[in-house]
Amino acid sequence: MADWTSRTARARWTRASATTLATVLCVGGPAWADGPYGSSSYRDYSVGARPLSTAIADLNGVDGPDLVTSNFADSTVSVLINRGDGTFEPAVAYATGVNPTSVAAADLNGDGRVDVVTSDGASTVSVLINRGDGTFEPAVAYATGVNPTSVAAADLNGVDGPDLVTSNFADSTVSVLINRGDGTFEPAVAYATGVNPTSVAAADLNGDGRVDVITADNGTNTVSVLRNNGHGVLEPRVAYRVGRQPRSVTAVALRAGEKPDIITANRGDNTVSLLFNRGDGTFRSAVTKRTGINPTGVTTADLDGDGSLEIITCDFDSNTVSVLARHSRWGRSERISYPTGTGPYGVAAGDLNGDGRPDFVTADRSADSASVVSVR
């Protein structure tokens, strides 16, 4: 069994036989590949133009998780309702602010219905309130920093429901918008990050019950950790080095019983960086692992049900998702790649068909599609 934190784990192992790409059988139909977790298939669904991000959430309260993509070129989100078996109805479009770059889903007003929020190139977030049946009210815009690239929803002050955080590329800040309790938001407050942050995540990093903020800083090859003082106010950032041009960040406990670790997908050197939590919200030096070409999104899931999380990246120039396993069960390889649609730019994981195993969804920028990838 490989240890995530060991020196040998830093080796950039690959195995050609583990990267078997499939032949597309028909337009919009499934494609197949084999790997140590079993055979994979993917099916494409048409969405809006140039999707950059995707989220998975049950939007209508029936038939399992639905899909949302943010579509940069036509300034919409696409909502795809689950039929109950992991296949989806045709996409329905809703207008957002100009050039949405990211999408998140959360119950913003406490009515038990999952709402949708996007970060927009127009230096706004767009909040779309769920009517209760998986359809949405017109977007309401709130100003952020300049050119937000990512949005997260998390309760930063412990009252009044999820707040919003954006990473703002052009002015190297995060914007925090505090929820008034009804799904409307206070004016944004800015906090400095590293140069050109491209992604934001939120998690309680030190176990004090307060949700902290993390950004991936493209211009400085760092992550910025901004600790929460408990009132939704963030402390000055602490920077940690990662790989080149980090594009996406997530925070999750890779080791059972430990505090959340930080993972970045680094498009400049085709790697992920793993920063392991020392238990107090500070982090060890990054461990590096290879991905496919140009990883632009990262998430995690327990793919084989063994209780350990695998790391999943979407690899824009490989047209794949890469699965990086903690257990090297298939020889010396740590990575297996599965095919997607063309140009996957964002990735999410969730059980879409109720079989107890996670599926992957990618937002395929070059194909105007969402790919649903299942491994069985």
- What are the pLDDT digits (tens) for 119-128? 999 999 999 9
Q: Which residue range is the domain that position 79 belongs to?
A: 41-192
The predicted pLDDT at position 8 comes to 32
Structural domain contains residue 246: no
Structural domain contains residue 113: yes
- Confidence class of residue 326 from pLDDT cuts 50, 70 and 90? low
Mean predicted confidence (pLDDT) in 116-120: 99
Structural domain contains residue 225: no
User: Does the pLDDT at position 68 exceed 60?
Assistant: yes
Mean predicted confidence (pLDDT) in 253-263: 93
The predicted pLDDT at position 28 comes to 44
The predicted pLDDT at position 24 comes to 29
Structural domain contains residue 168: yes
Q: Give the chain's domain count.
A: 1
The predicted pLDDT at position 41 comes to 85
Structural domain contains residue 188: yes
Length of the chain: 376
Mean predicted confidence (pLDDT) in 66-92: 98
The predicted pLDDT at position 37 comes to 64
Structural domain contains residue 266: no
Provide the sign of the torsion angle of the four alpha carbons 322, 328, 329, 331, taken in this order. positive
Mean predicted confidence (pLDDT) in 266-276: 97
| Cβ proximity of 309 and 302 under 8 Å | yes
Of the listed ranges 2-16, 67-81, 248-262, 269-283, the one predicted with least confidence: 2-16
Structural domain contains residue 242: no
User: Does the pLDDT at position 13 exceed 50?
Assistant: no
- Confidence class of residue 36 from pLDDT cuts 50, 70 and 90? low
Tokens of 299: 């998430």
Report the CATH number that the domain containing residue 109 is assigned in CATH: 2.130.10.10
Between residues 326 and 108, which one has the greater pLDDT? 108
* Secondary structure letter of residue 17 according to DSSP: G
- Residue range 210-252, pLDDT digits in tens: 999 999 999 999 999 999 998 899 999 999 999 999 999 999 9
The predicted pLDDT at position 22 comes to 30
Mean predicted confidence (pLDDT) in 161-168: 98
The predicted pLDDT at position 290 comes to 94
- Residue range 280-317, pLDDT digits in tens: 999 999 999 999 999 999 999 998 888 889 999 999 99
Residue-by-residue DSSP string for 272-293: EEEE-B-SSS-BPPPEEEE-SS
Residue-by-residue DSSP string for 74-109: TTEEEEE-B-SSS-BPPPEEEE-SSSEEEEEEE-SS
| Cβ proximity of 49 and 368 under 8 Å | yes
Mean predicted confidence (pLDDT) in 332-337: 72
- Confidence class of residue 38 from pLDDT cuts 50, 70 and 90? low
Between residues 331 and 91, which one has the greater pLDDT? 91
Nearest Cα to Cα of residue 80 among 59, 66, 63: 66
Mean predicted confidence (pLDDT) in 56-68: 97
Q: Tell me what the pLDDT averaged over the chain comes to.
A: 90
Structural domain contains residue 344: no
The predicted pLDDT at position 325 comes to 80
